[in-house]
Structures are given as C-alpha cells and as structure tokens.
Structure 1
Amino acid sequence: MLRETWAEIDPGCIADNLRAIRGMLPAGVKLMAVVKANGYGHGDLEAAEAARQAGADYLGVAFLEEALRLRAGGVELPILILTPIRPDQVELALARDLTLTVTGADWFRELRKRHASFAGRKLRVHVKADTGLGRIGFRTMAEWDALVPWLASPDIDVDGFYTHFATAGQVDTAYLERQARRFAKLMERSKASGIAIRHYHCAGSAAALRFPGLALDMVRIGAAMYGFHPARPAPPVELKPALSLHSTLMQVKRVRRGEYIGYDNAYRPDADEWIGTVPLGYADGWSQRMQGAAALVRGQRAQVVGKISMDQLMLRLPGPFTPGDRVTLIGRQGGERISFAELAAHIDGPAQAITTALTERVAKMYANAKEVRCPWNNAYFQQLRRVSDGSRAD
C-alpha cells in the first residue's frame, strides 16, 4: 500500500483571503500576490490562479526561475522578481515580460556593457530601497542620485519604487515608524528627480493588515493570502488557512514503563503507554523541531514523542487506537484543531516556515481539482478523503 501522507489545499481560501484584504484597503490600491517558494508550499500555479480569480494586479516571486515557471504554466499577470537577477539574464527576462528589482548603479553599468539598448523594447524595473531591514536595496540619497541617470534612459520603465519593513508584525511600532519616515524622504527625493514612477509600495501582509494608511499605490500580500497571521495582534479580517496536513497510524504498540522510543533513546515513558507510528518525518519537511508538538487522532490530541526520524514519527496516544486511523498534523479533526499559530509558536518561527518546508514526498490534493498532484491514482486518494475521523483507511 502506498504511503498515506498528504496535504489538502483549498485554493478558494486563498482567493477569499485576498478578496477580504482588498476590501479593507483604500480605494484604488493595487494588490500584488506573492507566490514565491512554490506558493509558500501550496503550489505556485494554483496560488497564482487563485490570485487571478481574486483580482490580483501583480504577482511577486523571489527568483527568475520561479517567474519562468509561472510563464511556462500560462500565467499572464505582471510578475515582479523581488531579488535582483544578473545582468546577463536580462534578455531572458525581457523575452518573458518580467519586471526586475534593481538596487544600484553598478548593476546598470554591467548591464550596459552587454546591452547598449534593447532594440525598441523597454526594461521594466522596480527600485528597492533598504530603509532598515538590512537585506537588499540602496540606502542613501547619494546612491539614489547615482541611479537617476540610468533610470532616466528611454529604454528603462521605472514601474515601481519600494521597501520592506523589518518589524511590521511586532506590537512595538517604533522601528516600523522609523522605516516609514525614511521611505517617505526617499519618495520625496525620487519624485523631485523627474523620474516617472507608477507605483510606490512598502506594505507586506502584516503592515497592510495593521496600517492601511501605508498601502500607498500597492500592497504585497504573501503570508496572509494563505491564511497565516500571528495570534497577536489579531488581523482585522478573517483569514482562512488554505492547507491542512494528514497522515495515518501505520503501527500501534503497547510500550512498557522504562522502555525507549526513537533515536538516541530520546523518550522513555514513566508508565505504560500506547505509541503510534506515523509515516511522516524530517525528509517530508516535518523537522525535529516538531518534537513535543501535538497531532490529532480520533479528534483527540496526541503528543509527538522521541526524535523525529527521516521517514516516521511517534505519537503518545490517548488509548489503543487502530492502524489506519487518520492523523491530522495541521487542521481540524472532530472538535479539535491544530492551528498554524500554535505550530509557529512551538518552533518559534513563522507559519510559512512550516509549509515551505514540506517536500515533494508529501502529496498535494486540491479542492475541486480534476487531477491530484501526486503519484497515487485518484480513486485511491478519494477513498482516503472519505475516511471519517477515527475509522480505518484501508
């Protein structure tokens, strides 16, 4: 029997989240849906299509390869590559009608060694400013002034000017306000330079949800479109998680007091316990940081015990459950729920670190999809979906 571990993804939740976010933004603000990292682990083409259906104006990706994959998949929305590409890759980007991030004059100097002009075509760019995240972008007025002559070239279309906040999700807003003031000054300088810039944007998911006044011309929505948000401060709109993760019990055993479970004898029960083995491990993206986290079996919580191995993990079960019982690691089962906020707190990291870690070994099933993106046949997978909580999956 093929391994019974899968993620269920509802692109309708992605579209609903984007519509809800757009509804709270000032009129006329455009929305960029960020589908990098394979749509935060949800599937890039599926997330892009959900964004299109929700009326997104742009898509954002991290790298050129991600943009090319979307184009190859038939995606026609404007795509901004958020990480600068090499000048020798510009011709490929031009051929696919992609928008590039630029950060400094040196990039243009190297570009012009290769392309004196673009034969009647225009290269569309967004200029990135580093106002305090310390990652990429120009930082000073002098660096902007050095960029201006290059941006003024008739074959360069400056479609946008942007920055990114470092602390938009934190309760203390002092540093965010400091970055916003820096960006406002850079905006003033850019407008005074005579460069025609269509879109100014600085707000990602957290900033857009908390501070609609920072929306400017466009917002970049990544985590929130997939239903991710911190427990505090709560978002002003309801966000629906689009992904749940499931497996089954492959073996259940009675373990006596004092016996060991897992590598390095990492767990030793103080009393007799029922232990269930689940075919999900760190090679699937369920890292050893998930030791001690909860899963749901028959609507009851069961703790991950022992070290998570490459292919399996072990659960301390509330009772003598049955091999084949469904295990839910993210999502609802019965009246209980394992939320992204709970798991994010457990690993002390963002929710997107969980879904982007899921590997190709985890099959993905899409709600209302005609095809299942996994090596299983559809009939078998649909049989698994019909299994009620607590029943066998054979």
Structure 2
Amino acid sequence: MSLNTWAEVSLNHIRENLLKIRQSLPSSVKLMAVVKANGYGHGDLETVRMAEIAGADYLAVAHLEEALRLRANDITLPILILTPINPEDVQLALVYDLMLTVASAAWLKEMRKYKPLSPAKKLKLHIKMDTGLGRIGVKTKEEWEELVPLIREADIVIDGFYTHFATAGNADRAFLELQTKRFTEMMNWSYASCLSVNHYHCAGSAAALRFPSLAMDMVRIGAAMYGFYPQQLLPSLKLKPAFSLHSRLIHVKKLNKGEWLGYDNSYCAEADEWIGTVPIGYADGWSQRMQNTELLVGGKRAPVIGKICMDQLMVRLPGPCEIGTAVTLIGSQGSEEITFDELAAHIGGVAQEVSTSITERVARNYTNDTCKEEAGAKWGNRNVQSIYKKAVM
C-alpha cells in the first residue's frame, strides 16, 4: 500500500451518524447495521465496532464469507446474510450462528440434503419478499404457499420477514407506496399462515429516515451510517461523510502549447500548462469513468486530464507546485470540497459505488477512534479462510 495515496476514515462520524439515526427511531425498533462490502469500503471490523458502541442490535452482510470474517474476529452480534448462500453451506450457518435469507422453496428443498430435520439444531431464517425491486424474493401467493410447509418444520426459526424498496431515495413516492401496499398484503399472508415471525422489516436508510412510520420492528441502516443519504429530501438531517481520499504529487512538469499527453494522445495542451502526476489509477478503484472530474490542489479545483492509467493520473495544475504537494480527490481543502454526490453524479451512480470501488491498495487511516487499542486487542488479524476450512472439515 502506497504512503502517497490514502483514505481517511472518521470512526467518530460513523458512530455519530448511527447515534443520530438511533435517536430518531422509536425505542422499540431494532437497528441492523449493514457492513457488507468491507463496510461500504470503510473497513468492516472498524465499522462494526462503531455500530456496537452506537447500539446496533443486528449486523447484515452480503455473503457468507463476510459473515465468517466477522465471526473469526470475535464479532458476536446477530448477523443476517442478505444473499442466499449455497444450500450445501448450511452447516456453516448453524456452527457460526448466522441468519440466512430465503427467497424460494427450491432453496429449502435443496438445503434438506445437507441438514436433515433436527429440532435440536435450529436454523434461523429471514424470508425475502419481492414487492417490486425484482431482484430476489417470493413474489406470488402461489410461491408463498409452496414455501409455508417448508418453513413450518420444527428446526426452522423465522427471525425475519422482509422486503427492499426500489425508490425510497426518490422524490416521487408513488412506487414506494405501491411496494408498501404489496408488503402489507404479504404480511397478511404470513399472519394467515399462523407462522411465528420475530421481526418484520422493510426500511433501508432512505426509507427509515424519510418515513418513520415504515420502521416496523427493525430498520436496515447501511448508506446513512457512512454519511450517504438523500440530503435534498432531508435538509434538516445532518449526517457526516466518514471517508475522504488523498494523495500527493509525485511529478510536476510544464507542458507546452500543442503538446500531447496520455495514452492515445488523449489530451492536447491549449496553452503552456503545468501538469502534475498523482499516484492513483483504475487499479486503485479510480476508474476511467472519473475522467474529466476535478481534484483539489492548494485549495483550488484542478481538472483531471488525459486517460486515467492503471496506477497514475494527470492533473492540470493552477500553477507550478512542489513535488509532494497534497491532493484531495474526495473531501475538503480550504473552502473547496469534492463530494461523493458530485462524483456519483458524474458516473451516473450512487455514492456507495464510489466508496466500495476504492481497492485495498489504498491504505485506510482511521481517525478519532477512541476505542482503537481495545478494538485491535479484540480482533487481531485472523484469516477467514482458516475458520472456513475448519468448519467444513
């Protein structure tokens, strides 16, 4: 990991964001902190510690391996895996007390090949309902009726019944209201089946913050924990971004008018210009979609020019600069700021797409961590592969 390019992650901001969100919820509502994708690029273990301090009741990850990594590092909070795992890995869920998402009867039927009926070994499930996102989930009454006998078995615990909204961050509420209506109907299917369900949940970050009436038994807070939320729709809420990205100039030169620069002669100087080279590129997650963005040098905006390379990019400087001058790609310098929202708009994506794209080549420096020593002593640096291999032997 290069010392010339690094991210700064404010753990205080993560903790403060979660505390503010927690305070906005009724005390009876549980908070599930979503730490998938290495904590949205911020660091999973570090984020989990802040979530624990802020009073998170549950954790959520995308994949089995992410859950095993947390368990390997002594994380004991309940963990939901949001993506259905391979049925043959069901014993890992039992051994490490993991909750699984179920989206079809077919998965449960296949799972029984690897988990014979055994009331002594309870499998905790969250049933995913498709109300309109169209990704995974039970969609029709017929699918539900096929599922019911399979989840009535004595060794099944239905810890959750949930859905996910497609447009909770949009100003237009029409589709959100349609999904809410569909989920209410599906909840009635559950009630009519006389099933015991511990938690009903439908609200991710945007829905939980905008529509407290949708909190139900639990909310899933991912993006907002890291400071990503629809600010234009929630002007009174002030969450703080936790992640900033920095580098340094490693080379400075003068480019004369008419000279070319970059792969495929992708830039031609229109006048005599000062050019800086910054050691970050698409192998670090700063993809070529970031061409024609800006970064900050000396508190001023400076355009990225030419094609972004695997390990470096070039920037047109406001004037001659010293090698080693600090550069900010996300964050503030003086009165100027490059935000996640600005970059997301440039690539036609969302803020978390930018943060999760930053690869492990970029070191994360954690600031304001009042529990750093305790966290280091607790987690260490154990390898998830060892616990995975041990569990399947």
Match of 2:330 in 1: 330
For residues 348 and 104 of structure 1, the distance between their equivalents in structure 2, rounded to whole angstroms, comes to 33
The alignment status of 1:8 with 2:2, answered yes or no, reads no
Match of 1:225 in 2: 225
Q: Quick check: 2:125–2:158 contact (8 Å CA) kept in 1?
A: yes
Residue by residue over 1:72-109, the C-alpha shift from the partner in whole angstroms, topping out at 9 and shown as x without a partner, is 01111000000011211010111000000011211121
| Offset of residue 231 of structure 1 | 4.4
What are the within-5 Å matches in structure 2 for residues 1-394 of structure 1? 3-118=3-118, 120-234=120-234, 236-367=236-367, 368=369, 369=372
Q: Quick check: 2:6–2:364 contact (8 Å CA) kept in 1?
A: yes
* RMSD (Å), alpha carbons: 1.7
Match of 1:390 in 2: none
For residues 180 and 120 of structure 2, the distance between their equivalents in structure 1, rounded to whole angstroms, comes to 37
Taking structure 1 as reference, are residues 59 and 253 closer, same or farther at Cα in structure 2, changes over 3 Å only? same
For residues 342 and 6 of structure 2, the distance between their equivalents in structure 1, rounded to whole angstroms, comes to 20
For residues 69 and 226 of structure 1, the distance between their equivalents in structure 2, rounded to whole angstroms, comes to 21
Taking structure 1 as reference, are residues 189 and 2 closer, same or farther at Cα in structure 2, changes over 3 Å only? closer
For residues 24 and 235 of structure 2, the distance between their equivalents in structure 1, rounded to whole angstroms, comes to 11
Q: Secondary structure at the residue paired with 1:37?
A: helix
Range moving further from structure 2, 26-35 or 106-115: 106-115
**Structure 1 residue runs without a partner (length 5+):** 374-394
For residues 195 and 373 of structure 2, the distance between their equivalents in structure 1, rounded to whole angstroms, comes to 48
| Offset of residue 271 of structure 1 | 1.1
Q: Quick check: 2:91–2:114 contact (8 Å CA) kept in 1?
A: no
Match of 2:381 in 1: none
**Structure 2 residue runs without a partner (length 5+):** 377-393
Q: Secondary structure at the residue paired with 1:114?
A: coil
Q: Quick check: 2:64–2:85 contact (8 Å CA) kept in 1?
A: yes
Taking structure 1 as reference, are residues 136 and 127 closer, same or farther at Cα in structure 2, changes over 3 Å only? same
Residue by residue over 1:110-165, the C-alpha shift from the partner in whole angstroms, topping out at 9 and shown as x without a partner, is 12233222361210000000010010001011111111111111110000000001
| Offset of residue 236 of structure 1 | 4.2
Q: Secondary structure at the residue paired with 1:232?
A: helix
For residues 10 and 46 of structure 2, the distance between their equivalents in structure 1, rounded to whole angstroms, comes to 9
For residues 49 and 268 of structure 1, the distance between their equivalents in structure 2, rounded to whole angstroms, comes to 49
Range moving further from structure 2, 235-244 or 209-218: 235-244
Identity %: 62
Q: Quick check: 2:260–2:268 contact (8 Å CA) kept in 1?
A: yes
Taking structure 1 as reference, are residues 16 and 3 closer, same or farther at Cα in structure 2, changes over 3 Å only? closer
Q: Secondary structure at the residue paired with 2:197?
A: coil
Length-normalised TM-score, structure 1? 0.92
The total of aligned residue pairs comes to 373
| Offset of residue 230 of structure 1 | 3.4
Match of 1:376 in 2: none
Q: Structure 1: which 4+ aligned runs deviate by more than 4 Å?
A: none
Q: Quick check: 2:21–2:209 contact (8 Å CA) kept in 1?
A: yes
Taking structure 1 as reference, are residues 66 and 302 closer, same or farther at Cα in structure 2, changes over 3 Å only? same
Q: Quick check: 2:160–2:201 contact (8 Å CA) kept in 1?
A: yes
For residues 217 and 100 of structure 1, the distance between their equivalents in structure 2, rounded to whole angstroms, comes to 18
Q: Secondary structure at the residue paired with 1:71?
A: helix
Q: Quick check: 2:6–2:245 contact (8 Å CA) kept in 1?
A: yes
Length-normalised TM-score, structure 2? 0.92
Taking structure 1 as reference, are residues 286 and 2 closer, same or farther at Cα in structure 2, changes over 3 Å only? closer
Range moving further from structure 2, 289-298 or 31-40: 289-298
Range moving further from structure 2, 231-240 or 353-362: 231-240
| Offset of residue 2 of structure 1 | 5.3
| Offset of residue 235 of structure 1 | 5.2
Residue by residue over 1:341-375, the C-alpha shift from the partner in whole angstroms, topping out at 9 and shown as x without a partner, is 1111111101111111111110111113469x9xx
For residues 197 and 228 of structure 1, the distance between their equivalents in structure 2, rounded to whole angstroms, comes to 31
Q: Secondary structure at the residue paired with 2:181?
A: helix
| Offset of residue 269 of structure 1 | 2.0
Q: Quick check: 1:101–1:125 contact (8 Å CA) kept in 2?
A: yes
User: Which structure carries more relative contact order (alpha carbon 8 Å, separation 6+)?
Assistant: 2
Q: Which amino acid aligns with 2:346?
A: H
Residue by residue over 1:284-328, the C-alpha shift from the partner in whole angstroms, topping out at 9 and shown as x without a partner, is 000111111111111111111111000101111111111100001
Q: Quick check: 2:120–2:155 contact (8 Å CA) kept in 1?
A: yes
Q: Quick check: 2:58–2:79 contact (8 Å CA) kept in 1?
A: yes
| Offset of residue 41 of structure 1 | 0.4
Q: Secondary structure at the residue paired with 1:13?
A: helix
| Offset of residue 10 of structure 1 | 1.3
For residues 203 and 28 of structure 2, the distance between their equivalents in structure 1, rounded to whole angstroms, comes to 15
